[in-house]
Amino acid sequence: MTVIIGRRELLAALGGVAAAWPLVARGQQPMPVIGFLHAGSPTPMAPYLAAFLRALAEAGYVENKNVAIEYRYAEGQYDRLPLLAADLVRRQVAVIVAGPNENAARAAIAASSGTPIVFNVTDDPVKLGLVASLSRPGGNATGVNSFMSELVAKRLGLLRELLPAAARVGALVNPNAATAEDFVKDFAVAASTLGVQFQIARAG
């Protein structure tokens, strides 16, 4: 499979996996099942989940009609993700959608080397160890990389344009994220380049 960038491409990747679902499901379960593994909570995720379900419907898959979805939320407790991922694998889901960060993706990949996995991460999946390379990822995982860390300087520059008088900027960082320290370094460099003071606050 190929590592791809963008929400549309993510849905295309999921659609490609979906093409094989009838074969996977035959003789095992009445309809294919998507495992939905999320590191956060249901309420904040609701708008994105609604968009996800609409996109599935556009591809011809309607929940509880011709596809089932098993939802697993870690509620921000990342240490629960391996158990939740393992549970989805035991239920023989046809594909696992993991997000919104590398914690969920790692748990899904560690839980199974055979179940197709579609992930959403904010840093280079090669650097995170999720795939072997962008051109030839190998394994059973594909997904979206928004390359947020590479955009830190651009985002900070845009903020400076909007608030030219601002002399101090801050960032709230999730210390449990694998990309936290890289983000802090990029943020510090960008702030120094722009000549503004900065402050980092770590959640939790």
What pLDDT sits at residue 165? 85
pLDDT, one tens digit per residue, over 31-65 is 899 999 999 999 988 888 898 899 889 989 999 99
Structure-block tokens of residue 176: 């449990």
Q: Provide DSSP, the chain.
A: ---B-SHHHHHHHHHHHHTTHHHHHTTT-SS-EEEEEESS-HHHHHHHHHHHHHHHHHTT--BTTTBEEEEEE-TT-GGGHHHHHHHHHHTT-SEEEEESSHHHHHHHHHH-SSS-EEEEESS-TTTTTSSS-SS---TTEEEEE--TGGGHHHHHHHHHHH-TT--EEEEEE-TTSTTHHHHHHHHHHHHHHHT-EEEEEE--
What pLDDT sits at residue 31? 86
What pLDDT sits at residue 167? 84
Angle between helices 180-194 and 152-162 (to 10 degrees): 40
**Residue 24 in this model has a pLDDT that exceeds 60:** no
How far CA 51 is from CA of 9, 131, 181, in Å, comes to 14, 26, 31
pLDDT, one tens digit per residue, over 132-150 is 776 677 788 887 776 555 5
What pLDDT sits at residue 37? 96
pTM exceeds cut of 0.75: no
pLDDT, one tens digit per residue, over 170-179 is 888 877 766 6
